Amino acid sequence: MSYQAEYIWIDGTEPEPLMRSKTRIVKSGKEPEIWGFDGSSTNQAPGSNSDCVLQPVVTVPDPLRGGDNVLVLCEVQLTDFTPHPTNTRAIARGVAEKYADMSPMFGIEQEYTFFQNGRPLGWPAVGFPEPQGPYYCGVGGEKMPGRAIVERHTQACLDAGLAIEGTNAEVMMGQWEFQIGVLPAPTIGDHIWLGRWLLHRIAEDFNTTVSFAAKPVLGDWNGAGAHTNFSTKQTMESWDAIVTVCESLAPRVMEHVTHYGTGIQDRLTGKHETAPWNKFSWGASDRGASIRIPWAVEKAKKGWIEDRRPNANMDPYVVSALMIDTCCSALAGDKPTLFVPSQGAEATVTV
C-alpha cells in the first residue's frame, strides 16, 4: 500500500510569493523524503540551472484526502542543501534559536478576502454593498458570504493539527479572519502558511479565490492585516519589559514596515483602525496605534503586545524574525542585526 504526500512550498514570485504544491506517492512505512522541482517555473532559478530542493520540515495529516495521506511543508534549498535566497524560514529559525532562552511566542490574526468573478464575494455585479457596519462578526442572510468555506477551513485546520484559535467575519463584506497561536518561531509561520494553503485549496471547490491583498478594494473600505501578538518570558512577568520592547520598535519603524507586506502605504493610512505607515505609536486599547497594549495586559502590568502593522500578505517568517531580533536584542542589551533599514523616508514617534 502507498499514501499521497502533498509537498507544499513558497515560491519566488515578487512582490508577493505564491504557494505551490505537488503530489508524491510514498510507500507505506516510509517518511516523505527530500524531493525537487523546476525552479525556472517558480521564479527561483534560471532555465540553465533550474533544479531546486524541497526539504521536508513539517508533516501533518491531510484533512482533505484523509486516510494516511499527509501535507508536507518544505523549505526550499539549493542543490548544495544551503537555504535558497527565497527561504525566509531559515532566517526565522536562526534568530529564534539565538533568543530561545527568552521564549518569544506569537499569535497571528490572519485576515483575507474572498473574491469571485473579479469582485469580493457577495458584492453586487454593479455598484457596492451596504456600507461597513453589519458585517464584522455578523450573522444572517446575504450579508455574510463565504461562511461555508470558513467552516470547512476551520475543521480542516483542526483535523490537520494546526494551532487554530478561532475565526470571525471582518469589517468589509467578503472579508474574514482566522487566528493561529500561541507558537514560537518558525512554527508560527509553518502553521500560517499551511492554513493559507488549506484556505486556497478549499476555496477552489467553491469557485472562489482568496486574496491576502492589503487593500483589496480602494476607497472607504477596510484593508486586510495580520495583527501579530508577541510576548517573551520577560514581558509575561514585567511591565518594564513591555515598555522596553515598545521603545525598541520606535527607531526601527521603516525597517519593519518595509518588510511587513506589499501595499503597506495603501493600508496604513491612519484610518480604518490603523496608524500612519511612517509614524510609530503605542498605547493601551488603542486600535489606531502601531502597537496596541490589550486592556488586560495594562491592568495586569504584564503580558504581550499587538503589532497592528503587518499586512495580510506579510511573510510570517520575516515578521516573526524581525520582532524577535528587535525586541529580544533590546531585552538582552544587544544590537539588532537583521535586514537593512530603508532609506529616503522619515518616521515620527509618539508614545
pLDDT tens, residue by residue, 289-336: 999 999 999 999 999 999 999 999 999 999 999 999 999 999 999 999
Residue pair 108/226 in contact (Cβ under 8 Å)? The answer is yes
Domains and CATH numbers, the chain: 3-86 (3.10.20.70), 95-332 (3.30.590.10)
Hey, which of 77-81, 139-143, 285-289 has the most confident mean pLDDT? 77-81
Average the pLDDT over 256-264 and give the result: 95
Predicted local confidence at residue 286, as pLDDT: 82
Give every CB contact of residue 266 below 8 A, 6+ residues apart in sequence.
Answer: 214, 215, 218, 223
- Average pLDDT of span 268-292: 90
Which set of grid coordinates corresponds to residue 341?
533599514
pLDDT tens, 201-231? 999 999 999 999 999 999 999 999 999 999 9
Q: What is the pLDDT of residues 59-73, one digit of tens each?
A: 999 999 999 999 999
pTM: 0.95
Q: How far apart are CA 112 and CA 109, in angstroms?
A: 10
Residues with Cβ within 8 Å of 238's Cβ and at least 6 positions away in sequence, in order, are 301, 302
Q: What is the pLDDT of residue 350?
A: 54
H-helix or E-strand spanning residue 323: helix 316-323
Report strand pairing: 348-350 vs 279-284. Answer: parallel
Task: Tell me if 284 sits within 8 A of 296, measured CB to CB.
Answer: no
- pLDDT of 342 higher than 80: no
Asked if 194 and 160 touch (Cβ cutoff 8 Å), the reply is: yes
13: left (phi over 0), alpha (psi -120 to 50) or beta: beta
Count other Cβ atoms within 10 Å, centred on residue 111. Answer: 25
Mean pLDDT across the chain: 94
pLDDT of residue 351: 45
Helix (H) or strand (E) holding 24: strand 19-27
Query: For residue 287, what pLDDT is reported?
Result: 82
- Point out which residues pair with 336 in neighbouring strands: none
